[in-house]
Amino acid sequence: MKYKKQLTNLKGYSQIELQLKCDKSIKFALRKLRGVRMKNNAIMTHLKGRILDVYNENLLVNGTTIKWFSDLKVILSEFFGVEIAHYLIFDVDSFRPLRENYAYAINMPTIKWEDIEAFFVEKNFTETLFWNSENDMNKLVKILLKDQDDKPIGLLVMDSTLKWKEFSETENIEDFVCTISKLVKIVRQSIRLVQQENQYRHLFSVTKTFNSTLDSGEILNGTLFAINNAFPQIDPTLILSNDQDRKTSIPYKLFDYTSERPATVDAYVSGEITTEIEEDLKVRLINVPIKGKQGIYGILQLSVPTDYIFSTRQKEFATSLAETTGNALENAKLYIQSHKLVSDLQLINETSHTLNTNISLDEMLVFLRNQLIKSFMPEQICFVMEKDEYKIIGASNDYFHTDEGQLYIQHVANHFNKVKEPLFIADFNRLTKLKYGYRSLIAVPLKEQNTITGFSIVLHKEPYYFSFDAFKLMQSLIQHSSLAISNSALRNKLQEMVNRDHLTNLFARNYLDKYVESSMKVDDRGVFVLIDIDDFKQVNDQYGHQIGDEILKQIASIIEKKVGDKGIGARWGGEELALYYAQMPLEEGIKNCSQLLVTIPLETNPSVTVSIGISSWKQGDQIDYRDLFHQTDIALYKAKNKGKNQLSVMEVSQLS
């Protein structure tokens, strides 16, 4: 009807007049459209100018994302009447809210790009539902911001006002999205530069501190301080390998393959960052390897909420810090190792030099024990020598005479019965269901021409107390000591052969002389005894010298039992034997010898009797060893002359 009325009104006009009238309408419409476009362009120009102001005001100011977006929300409110606006940062293939939006985490959680990519195929904004539940957030418009490579850089979420809807239908919408994207990109770059500058400045400060110290405790403390300063919301834990210097007050855990989480082990082995969800604690664990040029020295483990996104920037900083820590620990370790190597060589040289001097086996073991204490600081030390069976020898702690101590010795002995290699146990309680007091153990064999003659054990209650370097040092120390100990044992054996009579195994006369002379210098009194076998020539003539030798052995055995640890027995020569009791009164000496007179005939076969001469001395007597021997010999002569099978006593006063 409208068009018919218009045609009726045009009747009577010529063709030319009609053409002129249509041109005027088109021109009017074009002028009107041009006016709208100019108005929209003016708005867009004004909008760009305001956005540029936001960029200029926030460029390199404080390095945070929150300030610029607060300014942008003011612009959105002025131009489009927007009251609600949020911004989601794109990082690690996900969109996550700004920190100021974190209260909306339940309504607006982290969004994976792959889950929403299909919504932005045709245009850069949508009001499609993103979240699972119906809420106010789902009613907002979502504007995708991209870089020049058409890759996401952020997501702008705001309420869909009437002004916005009108503007979104104009051709300026693409320019608007492009402008906001450029702003976000420039702000992101500026923020990243500021943050990187702060990080590098902090890393430089940390590196400077690390390079000025070789104290692993200071290095580890600096690492924790740097993490806490950069990421106050993150809880860090140090997990160190077993060969680290543990003389530090910094809290840490020892790395243990058998008990660590798979992701932690994977990070330690691969040298790459790994993550893992800890369901029990409801946290995400981020494992950053602490590595140097020569190896990995532990893990810097960061604990964050499960919905926390560990950004690329944070990853780069944590990696750089961990590598700086690893290099510093490595330098400190190499420095300490170089000094320790010199110290170890000096220790081995000192030990070898001392042990190869003319000292007794007991003195050697005491010295070696002191060297082990100084170098390894064990809580228990044991030396075991093997003859027919393993026997604990001097310089060992009394603990090894207990039942529990014997278990360690038996375990080590069983090991050396199978293999001849040293034994290193970081935690003894892992080998048994029972719980023993000492968990760290090193055992090194004493060898003589590839034959194990004994071993040394050191123990400590703390597991993983001894490092592998300590194990190698003890192995070297004991190996260098083995020859000296074997030589000492050989010297003792040779000396024993010299000091002993080969037939009776009693001491030889030379040894007895020295023993008595020494006793008369240091003791208060003593009893000297000479024993002669009665009619021994007749025994040899009647039974033969072989039986005569057996008689001597039998009497020697009786004497050794009788003397015990109260004195010594010796073969004086031929059929004459001698006893000496240090610190014994004459009356007790007479009593012991009287018992010998009874025992010898009963326990010899064929039965023989003996004659005994006794004399004594005490401090204040003006006699020497020669006088003591002379008066004892006189007493023996008297016993013989009185009919044999008896004893005679010679007093000092009688000699004078």
Whether the Cβ atoms of residue 236 and residue 224 lie closer than 8 Å to each other:
yes
The residues, ordered by sequence, that sit 6+ positions from 139 with a Cβ below 8 Å of its Cβ are 127, 159, 160
**What is the rounded average pLDDT for all residues in the chain?**
80
What are the DSSP calls for 252-268, one per residue?
-EE--TTTS-HHHHHHH
* pLDDT over 80 (residue 512): yes
Tokens 């031929």 belong to which residue?
A: 574
Q: Could you read off the pLDDT of 530-589 as tens digits, one per residue?
A: 999 999 999 899 999 999 999 999 999 999 888 888 889 999 888 899 999 999 999 999
What are the DSSP calls for 216-241, one per residue?
HHHHHHHHHHHHHHH-TT-EEEEEE-
Higher pLDDT, 13 or 488: 488
pLDDT band at 108 (very low <50, low <70, confident <90, very high): low
Q: What is the CATH topology of the domain spanning 500-655?
A: Alpha-Beta Plaits (3.30.70)
Share of the chain above pLDDT 90, in %: 22
Q: How far is CA 161 from the centre of its chain?
A: 63
Strands of 296-305's sheet in order across: 253-254, 235-240, 296-305, 283-291, 274-278
Tokens 């300590």 belong to which residue?
A: 470
Higher pLDDT, 210 or 2: 210
Q: How far is CA 310 from the centre of its chain?
A: 29
Among 11-25, 33-47, 178-192, 578-592, the range with the most confident prediction by mean pLDDT is 578-592
The CA-atom distances, in angstroms, between 296 and each of 242, 323, 330, 474 are 11, 9, 9, 25
Residue 489 confidence (pLDDT): 65
Higher pLDDT, 236 or 490: 236
Among 31-40, 244-253, 365-374, 482-491, the range with the most confident prediction by mean pLDDT is 365-374
650 membership: H or E segment, kind and range: strand 647-650
Listed in sequence order, the DSSP H helices in 544-624 are: 545-563, 586-603
* pLDDT over 50 (residue 215): yes
Instruction: Give the dihedral sign, CA 618/623/629/630.
Output: negative
* pLDDT over 90 (residue 37): no
Q: How far is CA 609 from the centre of its chain?
A: 72
Rounded CA separation 157/83 (Å): 11
* pLDDT over 70 (residue 64): no
Of 270, 222, 273, 229, the residue nearest 250 (C-alpha): 222
Whether the Cβ atoms of residue 120 and residue 143 lie closer than 8 Å to each other:
no
Angle of the 545-563 helix axis to the 586-603 helix axis, nearest 10: 140
Q: CB count, 10 Å around CB of 533?
A: 22
Tokens 């040289």 belong to which residue?
A: 349
Instruction: Please state the rounded mean pLDDT for residues 404-419.
Output: 90
The residues, ordered by sequence, that sit 6+ positions from 601 with a Cβ below 8 Å of its Cβ are 607, 608, 609, 645
356-491 architecture in CATH? 2-Layer Sandwich (3.30)
The residues, ordered by sequence, that sit 6+ positions from 251 with a Cβ below 8 Å of its Cβ are 238
Of 646, 566, 567, 573, the residue nearest 613 (C-alpha): 646
Higher pLDDT, 401 or 353: 401
Rounded CA separation 641/420 (Å): 64
pLDDT band at 608 (very low <50, low <70, confident <90, very high): very high
Residue 609 confidence (pLDDT): 94
Residue 656 confidence (pLDDT): 45
Instruction: Please state the rounded mean pLDDT for residues 107-111.
Output: 68
Side chain identity at 89, as an amino acid letter?
I
- CA gyration radius for the chain? 50
CA dihedral 67, 72, 75, 77 (to 10 degrees): -90
Whether the Cβ atoms of residue 58 and residue 187 lie closer than 8 Å to each other:
yes
Residue 547 confidence (pLDDT): 92
Side chain identity at 496, as an amino acid letter?
E
Q: Could you read off the pLDDT of 9-28 as tens digits, one per residue?
A: 545 555 555 555 555 555 55
Instruction: Please state the rounded mean pLDDT for residues 378-403.
Output: 85
Whether the Cβ atoms of residue 479 and residue 471 lie closer than 8 Å to each other:
no
Provide the residue ranges of all domains of the chain, joining segments of one domain with +: 2-30, 41-195, 213-336, 356-491, 500-655
Higher pLDDT, 447 or 340: 447
Rounded CA separation 290/267 (Å): 10
Rounded CA separation 636/647 (Å): 7
Rounded CA separation 595/576 (Å): 18
Q: Could you read off the pLDDT of 330-349 as tens digits, one per residue?
A: 887 777 767 666 666 666 67
Residue 65 confidence (pLDDT): 56
Of 292, 367, 354, 299, the residue nearest 326 (C-alpha): 292
Q: CB count, 10 Å around CB of 40?
A: 16
- Total residues found in the chain within this entry: 656
Higher pLDDT, 490 or 230: 230
Rounded CA separation 250/140 (Å): 50
* pLDDT over 70 (residue 607): yes
SS3 content of the chain, % helix, strand, coil (to 5): 55, 20, 25
Both tokens of 603, joined, read 């326990």
Residue 5 confidence (pLDDT): 45
Whether the Cβ atoms of residue 151 and residue 139 lie closer than 8 Å to each other:
no
Residue 6 confidence (pLDDT): 47
Side chain identity at 354, as an amino acid letter?
T
Q: Could you read off the pLDDT of 642-656 as tens digits, one per residue?
A: 999 999 998 765 544
| HEC sequence for 393-459 | CCCCCHHHHCHHHHHHHHHHHHHHHHCCCCEEECCHHHHCCCCCCCCEEEEEEEEECCEEEEEEEEE
* pLDDT over 80 (residue 378): yes
Both tokens of 598, joined, read 């009874």
CATH 2.60.40.10 applies to domain 213-336? no
Superfamily designation of domain 41-195: GAF domain (3.30.450.40)
pLDDT band at 415 (very low <50, low <70, confident <90, very high): very high
Rounded CA separation 612/528 (Å): 11
The CA-atom distances, in angstroms, between 646 and each of 577, 597, 601, 607, 637 are 15, 7, 12, 15, 11
Domains 41-195 and 500-655 alike in fold: no
Q: Could you read off the pLDDT of 149-158 as tens digits, one per residue?
A: 888 988 898 8
- Which backbone phi and psi does 549 adopt, to 5 degrees? -65, -40
- Least confident stretch, 4-13, 377-386, 474-483, 573-582: 4-13
Of 567, 358, 369, the residue nearest 458 (C-alpha): 369
Of 430, 428, 395, the residue nearest 412 (C-alpha): 428
